[in-house]
């Protein structure tokens, strides 16, 4: 992280500061940035939620969050300096009820002195985006402010447009940071370097050489205590429209004219514009056995906990190449990856020999938990006869280059503090993703049951046939 810039002085306000996201991600990330010397020289952090809590209670909450979830050990000296910058305001922030937060922000700015920027982080359920945004505007806090919105940003095209119009009545687009933590992962960013800095990859990164692409994010966990959110979202809105489409845009984009934010985002949006809208025939929905018994889930819930999709991109680079997307809860393994499966050679002199079950030479980008890149290919098995077997070459980020791997939220929070929008999403791109899934939202295919700990419903295997999912093949064959 030594190459990252030091932000200007800031007052950071976290809405939903006692929630699960703040506890698991935001507060540990802010502390780690402070420990690495990457927070502003002068800053204050104001927590806000409806829950009653005093300042000491919030500091204890933050300390426990750091102890439980931070990737670094808590240093008493660093912690004491960090803790004294924490304060807390209890109220439901919205128009007509902004005074407590407004007073806290302006008091903190006065104590810091000089030019101070504002960062508002909305770690709240999506229905709270609108009232909090209006509150920021009515309190006169939008000046010198950047506002970070968690996903999902809208729930369909119409709700997106309503929300985005309201946001732009208060904020300029340059002040809006729609976060997707997958874009903060080192391997996602390294897609650019892998493709455009290496002559061995970019010439074959197209429909002439690639048979298909898989973007696969199985999760071993269930919904936990998130039933209230998950019942409104489901796997399609929670994962596909956000994380998987964003990763796909990095995989499929053309070379940008430069590495600045506008050029990169323009190319990502062009990919989204070229996506062929999904229909029910392109999608398999599933729900794991036992979901209906989870606390907070409606007895007859039709919410999907699993989704697989077959998506086409209609442009000269990718025409005819299917992109297969899969994600689900309570699956056999928690893992995030992108697999590019290459076509067989035009003149395959080994076509009569038995092959590995996956059949394709492939490049795998591991997005987590162990970020890295691996190449799998066929090689001759040692011995007197010609037999083919799978071989692998692997690069892991952890421990490479003599520097620590940057956690996604740390990277993105720092980017927001310095005003770098490169890894954040733009409104027209998000609007397009909602258009792509609009027909599936309006006319969803039926739910299929699957057992917890499995790889999802069998219908997902039929969707990709005659190809196969990389998982569980890699799990079975090493």
The residue among 283, 293, 324 whose CA lies nearest residue 223 is 293
Residues 27 and 125 in one domain: yes
Q: Tell me the average pLDDT of the chain.
A: 89
Residue 323 to residues 172, 340, 389, 471: CA-CA distances in angstroms?
A: 34, 9, 26, 15
Residues 231 and 295 in one domain: yes
Instruction: Give 397-448 pLDDT, tens digit per residue.
Output: 665 554 555 688 999 999 999 999 988 889 999 999 999 999 999 999 999 9
Residue 327 to residues 181, 241, 245, 408: CA-CA distances in angstroms?
A: 16, 12, 12, 20
The model's pTM is: 0.88
pLDDT band at 146 (very low <50, low <70, confident <90, very high): very high
Helices 55-69 and 76-83, interaxial angle, to 10°? Answer: 140
Alpha-carbon gap, residue 28 to 69, rounded angstroms: 6
pLDDT band at 258 (very low <50, low <70, confident <90, very high): confident
By annotation, the residues acting in catalysis are 243
Residues 6+ apart with CB under 8 A from 80: none
Residues 262 and 408 in one domain: yes
Q: 122 pairs with which residues across the strands? A: 15, 149
Q: Is residue 247 part of a domain?
A: yes
pLDDT above 80 (res 478): no
Residues 285 and 407 in one domain: yes
Q: Which of 102, 135, 150 is the last residue of a domain?
A: 150
Residues 380 and 334 in one domain: yes
So what's the pLDDT on residue 360?
Answer: 63
Instruction: Give 344-396 pLDDT, tens digit per residue.
Output: 776 565 566 555 444 568 888 888 777 777 776 556 667 776 666 666 677 77
Number of domains in the chain: 2
So what's the pLDDT on residue 2?
Answer: 45
pLDDT above 50 (res 135): yes
In contact, 155 and 191? CB cutoff 8 Å: no
Q: Which of 105, 135, 150 is the last residue of a domain?
A: 150
- Tokens for 19? 């929630």
CATH, residue 62? 3.40.50.720
Residues 14 and 131 in one domain: yes
Q: Is residue 428 part of a domain?
A: yes
In contact, 214 and 326? CB cutoff 8 Å: yes
Residues 133 and 281 in one domain: no
So what's the pLDDT on residue 378?
Answer: 59
So what's the pLDDT on residue 199?
Answer: 84
Residue 151 to residues 43, 70, 179, 335, 419: CA-CA distances in angstroms?
A: 26, 22, 7, 20, 19
Give the residue, 168 or 364, on which the prediction is more confident.
168
Residues 300 and 389 in one domain: yes
Question: What stretch of H or E contains 67?
Answer: helix 55-69
Residue 131 sits in which domain range? 10-150
Q: Which of 134, 150, 166 is the last residue of a domain?
A: 150
Instruction: Give 11-48 pLDDT, tens digit per residue.
Output: 999 999 999 999 999 999 999 999 999 999 999 999 99
Q: Is residue 161 part of a domain?
A: no
Share of the chain above pLDDT 70, in %: 89
Q: Is residue 357 part of a domain?
A: yes
Q: Is residue 163 part of a domain?
A: no
Q: Is residue 5 part of a domain?
A: no
Residues 331 and 451 in one domain: yes
Q: Is residue 301 part of a domain?
A: yes
Residues 114 and 202 in one domain: no
pLDDT band at 73 (very low <50, low <70, confident <90, very high): confident
pLDDT band at 56 (very low <50, low <70, confident <90, very high): very high
Q: What is the 3-state secondary structure (H, E, C) of 71-109?
A: CCCCCHHHHHHHHCCEEEEECCCCCCCCHHHHHHHHHHH
In contact, 119 and 13? CB cutoff 8 Å: yes
Residues 30 and 112 in one domain: yes
CATH, residue 226? 3.30.360.10
Residues 6+ apart with CB under 8 A from 377: 361, 390, 391, 392
Residues 34 and 139 in one domain: yes
- The owner of tokens 């490049």 is 363
């Amino acid at each position: 992280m030594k190459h990252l810039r030091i932000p200007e002085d800031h007052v950071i306000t976290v809405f939903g500061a006692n929630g699960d996201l703040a506890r698991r991600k935001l507060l540990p990330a802010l502390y780690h940035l402070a420990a690495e010397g990457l927070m502003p020289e002068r800053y204050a952090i104001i927590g806000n939620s409806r829950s009653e809590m005093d300042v000491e209670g919030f500091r204890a909450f933050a300390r426990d969050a750091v102890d439980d979830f931070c990737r670094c050990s808590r240093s008493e000296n660093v912690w004491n300096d960090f803790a004294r910058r924490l304060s807390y305001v209890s109220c439901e922030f919205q128009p007509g009820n902004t005074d407590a937060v407004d007073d806290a922000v302006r008091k903190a700015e006065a104590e810091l002195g000089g030019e101070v920027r504002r960062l508002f982080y909305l770690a709240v359920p999506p229905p709270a985006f609108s009232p909090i945004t209006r509150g920021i505007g009515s309190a006169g806090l939008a000046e010198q402010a950047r506002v970070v919105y968690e996903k999902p940003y809208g729930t369909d095209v119409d709700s997106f447009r309503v929300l985005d119009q309201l946001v732009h009545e208060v904020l300029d687009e340059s002040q809006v940071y729609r976060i997707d933590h997958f874009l903060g992962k080192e391997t996602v960013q390294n897609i650019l370097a892998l493709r455009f800095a290496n002559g061995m990859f970019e010439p074959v990164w197209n429909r002439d050489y690639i048979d298909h692409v898989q973007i696969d994010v199985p999760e071993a966990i269930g919904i936990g205590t998130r039933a209230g959110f998950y019942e409104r979202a489901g796997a399609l809105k929670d994962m596909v429209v956000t994380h998987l489409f964003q990763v796909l845009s990095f995989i499929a984009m053309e070379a940008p004219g430069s590495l600045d934010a506008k050029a990169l985002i323009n190319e990502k949006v062009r990919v989204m514009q070229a996506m062929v809208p999904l229909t029910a025939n392109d999608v398999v929905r599933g729900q794991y056995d036992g979901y209906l018994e989870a606390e907070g889930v409606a007895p007859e819930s039709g919410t999907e906990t699993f989704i697989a999709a077959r998506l086409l991109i209609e442009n000269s680079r990718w025409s005819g190449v299917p992109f297969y997307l899969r994600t689900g809860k309570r699956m056999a393994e928690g893992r995030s990856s992108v697999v590019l499966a290459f076509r067989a050679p035009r003149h395959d002199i080994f076509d009569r020999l038995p092959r590995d079950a996956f059949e394709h030479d492939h490049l795998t980008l591991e997005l987590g938990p162990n970020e890295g890149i691996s190449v799998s290919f066929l090689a001759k098995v040692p011995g007197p006869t010609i037999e083919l077997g799978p071989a692998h070459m692997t690069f892991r980020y952890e421990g490479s280059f003599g520097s620590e791997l940057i956690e996604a939220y740390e990277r993105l929070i720092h980017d927001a503090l310095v005003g770098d929008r490169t890894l954040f999403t733009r409104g027209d791109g998000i609007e397009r993703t909602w258009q792509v899934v609009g027909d599936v939202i309006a006319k969803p295919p039926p739910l299929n049951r699957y057992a917890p700990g499995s790889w999802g419903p069998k219908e997902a295997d039929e969707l990709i046939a005659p190809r196969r999912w990389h998982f569980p093949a890699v799990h079975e064959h090493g």
